[in-house]
Amino acid sequence: MIDSTTVALPSTHPLADGRTADAPLVRALRGDRPERLPVWFMRQAGRSLPEYRELRVGTAMLDACLDPAMASEITLQPVRRHGVDAGIFFSDIVVPIKLAGVDVDIVPGRGPVLGRPIRTAADVAALESLDPSALTPIAEAVARTVAELGTTPLIGFAGAPFTLAAYLVEGGPSKDHIRARTLMHADPETWDRLLGWAADVSGVFLRAQVLAGASAAQLFDSWVGSLSRADYTARVAPHSARALAHVADLGVPTIHFGVGSGEVLADMAAVGADAVGVDWRIPLDDAARRVADADVTLQGNIDPAMLAAPWPVLEAHVRDVVVRGGAARAHVVNLGHGVPPETDPTVLTRVVGLVHDLGDGRATGDGRTTGAGRSAHEGLGA
């Protein structure tokens, strides 16, 4: 069942052999409105799940990411529990830069921390390219996961070049990324070389996941909200396009998500992904107007803070998100950012059931949504 959009994929790939070609997520990302809205959650695999916390005891984060059996099991846990319409590969955006030789670790309670920041032309020149053979554990983990998922698609992901560069220059998490933004203007030539390197590292990382079986790919720009529109379009967007170009020939649908991205949403849509993720700050009907010139699906944008609200409040919010998402060509329901670690997992399962019960998400004349969804408990590959 290989068509013109998947000729570069292995014949055993889930999109090429048809397992995920008609999945609601894949259809929505490609601009269709399936009979049931697809829903998944960023950071659905992780600290909110007791089975995850039990599995991770005694294992450092990056070690878990590079253990194929563990990474696969963690990816599968929320799909089993919640009945979401996709798995998101369990990894971290700094995994590819670590595999490229950068001294980086994830410090509990703080995040990625570098042994030595990358701040000069000499520092950038010393960076090594990512050898695809270093990604063998990633490919194995993806293959294990896809074999279990059946008709449920797996989403691969990578950090966008600006977010990676922000960590590299700052040396760790930062509130304003002022060192990175300073480098952008003080030494634009070095900046461009750094982002070009980051784009290729992320692109190689994404490509390995897709070739191993991922049916979609998301580029995640955590810190794009710290940029002006002028800086984004001139100094960042071309590199994000370069990262996505690494999978363009493979024909998989792509998602471009950024936090605090309202001012650059239209520019992110113009980078070339099939879908743009929207955080919780902008109503989806407003977002649809902002990206009207681009033929893109919208993903989002339940406020993560609402997950701790009383169910009637959360339910009303989810219904509002779905109705507003009707303004887009297609809609993938998600959070406006990641699942907070203190979230009650039963709430996520209940949200999945509600979204599936709302059918295709198009509002009828009386304000209700049409269609009927399946249960959130039908399991993997259903």
State the catalytic residue, choosing from 27, 43, 144, 181: 43
Asked whether 308 and 342 are in contact (CB, 8 A), the reply is yes
Is 167 designated active site? Answer: yes
State the catalytic residue, choosing from 30, 32, 47, 193: 47
Sort residue 275 into left (φ over 0), alpha (ψ -120 to 50) or beta: beta
| C-alpha–C-alpha distance, residues 284 and 268, integer Å | 15
* AA letter at 120: T
Is 47 designated active site? Answer: yes
| C-alpha–C-alpha distance, residues 358 and 373, integer Å | 6
State the catalytic residue, choosing from 27, 167, 221, 267: 167
Asked whether 200 and 131 are in contact (CB, 8 A), the reply is no
Is 56 designated active site? Answer: yes
Give the rounded distance of the alpha carbon of 64 from its chain centre.
19
State the catalytic residue, choosing from 30, 32, 56, 286: 56
* AA letter at 288: A
| C-alpha–C-alpha distance, residues 197 and 177, integer Å | 19
Is 43 designated active site? Answer: yes
| C-alpha–C-alpha distance, residues 139 and 241, integer Å | 23
Cis peptide before 334 (omega within 30 of 0): no
Neighbours of 80 (CB within 10 A): 15
State the catalytic residue, choosing from 85, 92, 274, 303: 92
Q: Any idea what DSSP says for residue 305? A: G
What are residue 363's phi and psi, to 5 degrees? -75, 140
| C-alpha–C-alpha distance, residues 120 and 126, integer Å | 10
Positions marked catalytic: 43, 47, 56, 92, 167
